[in-house]
Amino acid sequence: MAIISICRGTKSGGEALAQCLAEQFGYPLMGREVLQEAAAQLGVPADDLVEKMEDRPRFFDRSTTLRKTYIAAVQATLAEAAKDGNLVYHGLAGGFLMKEAPGVLCARLIAPVEIRAQALKRSHGMDEASAFSYIREVDEARARWVKGMYGVDILDPTNYDMILNLGTFSIPEACRIITAAAERPEFTVTESRLRDLNDFRIASQVRLALMDDMTGSRRDPRSGSHAEHRRGGKPNRRDRELRRRREGRRTQDRVVRPVPLGGSQGRRVFRFPTVLQRERPDKN
Amino acid sequence: MSGGKALAGCLADRLGYPTLGREVLVEAAESVGVSEEVFRGKFEAAPGFWARMTREREKYALAVQTALAEWCTRGNLVYHGLSGQFLLKELPGVLRVRLIAPVELRVKAFLDSHPLMSQGQAEDFVRDVDQDRLRWCRLMYDADVTDPSLYDLTVNLKRLTLESACATIAEAVSQPRFQITDEVEAEIFAFAARCRERLAQAIGD
């Protein structure tokens, strides 16, 4: 038994490699569907969760707690899937989400941008310039997201157990190499590690419950009311924000820029807008 | 101090290949007719702020490349010396591996082999070596030595033991693309001939 997390850029062959590994070991495979499961658990639209999971946190992001709740939900979903000690995960930030889990083999795939652009052209019919630009944007967004959420550089090799270059290796070759590593004692799930994985699962659930209580994101199964009502207090901004999202309404996060107020002798005075968010009308 | 030599030894035992490290510099020094000390001083030393890629340094790099290419013509090899990823760039059938390890682990390894040093001195030494290597590779090959795209495989000893890293690399090198076929052997000989020619020209100049 082992848990393998594949970290990769878009169109780097991560999904195919993860499939190969899952077949090789007979393990369940999990990718972006972890986001859907986490959204269902929270009772919010999957699109909202995906957006918050992939969108870079801004300096004046008032939805930080909401974002953390979403991440806690994804982590709890992942911890649940990994509780038996056999899983191949190829979704977002596996190495960071499962950092506290024992014995997770974290492999990163890299591939020359030309190969990735070719794959994108084939799958989406893009022209070359658009494919290159799309890859660059997605890579940058992911790097910013990881930096913003975990304070680390996604490209830093020390964050991974191994990095395979798919400019050299084919998918079956990479699959054999990762298999050889996953079979080593460092990554074999023993009885003791199974207990640690269970602890990780419980800790993730507790973290989610605490975050959830702060944001009031889930309905009370008995009364159908929301957490903020259970608390008996007045719904705060986070409560209202989550409820809007659960009900399919959106709030627009406005980009906040300092407003120049003038000044003299090369010195400029700025002030920040005080209203950071504004309601966007319902789509329907 | 990342365990490269020990890993090379493990791979050599497992695969039955000879190993080659910094001793390649001895052969390279002989080929350009200088002592090993002079060679090391001029070739290995990290360039200063104003240093440029001098002809002499270029000649020495060619000498190392030629000595290494000669070793490759003799068959399988585990090389754990300086800048193998650049020196053997033109060759097929070469698995380029980068080994990384947490600074704490490297400092500890250094302290084990140099017990008279203090923790602070060991940390400074490891940091200086890293900086020197970065500068050296930037000057010689205009590349960032830490860039994973320069390698086929990067292995982190943070959690992987040396034996596990060895087993993983052995699996990688057992893939058909790294086997020395007749075709690959011909390319190795042609590469060695090109290196000799370039070195002879550099010495003649």
Token pair for A238: 């986070």
- β-partners of residue A278 are A252
Please tell me the distance in Å from B98's CA to the nearest CA on chain A: 9
pLDDT at A195: 92
| Per-residue confidence band for A250, with pLDDT thresholds at 50, 70 and 90 | low
Report the share of chain B in percent with pLDDT over 90.
44
| pLDDT at residue A273 tops 70 | no
**pLDDT for residue A150:** 80
Least confident among A72-86, A200-214, B144-158, B189-203? A200-214
Q: What per-residue confidence (pLDDT) applies to A122?
A: 84
Q: Helix-strand-coil percent breakdown of chain A, rounded to 5?
A: 50, 10, 35
Does A33 score more than 60 pLDDT? Answer: yes
Per-residue pLDDT of chain B (205 residues; tens, 9 = 90+): 668 889 999 999 999 999 998 889 998 998 888 888 888 877 777 666 555 567 778 888 899 999 999 999 998 999 998 888 888 987 889 999 999 998 888 888 888 888 888 888 889 888 888 888 888 888 888 888 889 999 999 999 999 999 999 999 999 999 999 999 999 999 999 999 999 999 999 888 7
Q: Flag if B156 and A110 touch (Cβ within 8 Å).
A: no
Confidence at A251, pLDDT banded by 50, 70, 90: low
pLDDT band at A253 (very low <50, low <70, confident <90, very high): very low
pLDDT, position B79:
94
Tell me which chain B residues have a C-beta less than 8 angstroms from the C-beta of A186: 159-161, 164
Give contacts of B145 with chain A, Cβ < 8 Å: none
Contact yes or no for A169 and B175 at CB 8 A: yes
Minimum-distance CB partner of B164 among A173, A177, A181: A181
pLDDT of residue A282: 43
Q: How confident is the model at residue A275 (pLDDT cuts 50, 70, 90)?
A: very low
pLDDT of residue A129: 87
Q: Do B168 and A180 touch (CB under 8 A)?
A: yes
Q: What is the CA radius of gyration of chain B?
A: 18
Q: Taking CB atoms and an 8 Å cutoff, what residues of chain A touch B154?
A: 157, 160, 162-163
pLDDT recorded at residue A163: 96
Q: Comparing C-alpha atoms, which of A175, A7, A103, A26 is closest to residue B171? A: A175
Q: To the nearest whole number, what is the mean pLDDT of chain A?
A: 77
| B145 → chain A, closest CA residue | A157
Measure the CA–CA gap between A24 and A57, rounded to whole angstroms: 37
Which amino acid type is present at position A54? E
Q: How many C-beta neighbours within 10 Å does residue A220 have?
A: 12
Chain A residues with CB-CB distance to B156 below 8 A: 157-158, 160-162
Min distance A98 CA to chain B CA atoms (Å)? 15
How many other β-carbons are positioned within 10 Å of the β-carbon of residue B124? 13
What residues in A contact B148, CB-CB < 8 Å?
Answer: 108, 110, 155, 157, 163, 165
User: Inter-chain contact B148–A165, Cβ cutoff 8 Å?
Assistant: yes
Query: CB atoms < 10 A from the CB of B168, how many?
Result: 24
B171 and chain A in contact, CB less than 8 A: yes
Give the one of B158, B170, B172 whose C-beta lies nearest to A158's C-beta: B158
A161: nearest Cα among B67, B106, B156: B156
- At A281 the pLDDT is 39
ipTM given for this complex: 0.89
Comparing CB atoms, the residue among B98, B148, B172 nearest residue A177 is B172
C-beta neighbour count of A228 within 10 angstroms: 21
Amino acid of residue B191: F
Mutate to test the interface with A, among B159, B162, B177 (most CBs of A within 10 A): B159
Contacts of residue B196, defined as CB under 8 A and 6 or more positions apart, other chains included, come to B66, B69
pLDDT on residue A262: 44
Per mean pLDDT, which range of A14-28, A252-266, B125-139 is the poorest?
A252-266
Of A112, A162, A167, the CB nearest to B155: A162
Give the pLDDT score at A70: 86
- Out of A1-5, A139-143, A212-216, B126-130, least confident range: A212-216
What's the confidence (pLDDT) of residue A237?
A: 60
- Considering only CB atoms, A177 lies closest to which of B102, B149, B171, namely B171
Question: Are the C-beta atoms of residues B64 and B5 closer than 8 Å to each other?
Answer: no
The per-residue pLDDT for A100 is: 84
Asked if B67 and B154 touch (Cβ cutoff 8 Å), the reply is: no
Q: Where are the beta strands (DSSP E) in A102-231?
A: 104-110, 162-165
Show residues of chain B in contact with A112, CB under 8 Å: 149
- Give, as one character, the DSSP assignment of residue B3: S
Cα of first residue to Cα of last residue in chain A, in angstroms, is 49
Q: Which among A157, A165, A184 has CB closest to B146?
A: A157
> pLDDT confidence of A22, banded at 50, 70, 90?
very high
Residue A94's pLDDT band, with cuts at 50, 70 and 90, is: confident
pLDDT at A232 (0 to 100): 46
* Predicted local distance difference test score (pLDDT) of residue A165: 94
> What's the pLDDT score for residue B196?
93
Query: According to DSSP H, which parts of B33-54 are helical?
Result: 36-43
| pLDDT at residue A151 tops 60 | yes
Torsional sign, CA B67, B69, B75, B78: positive
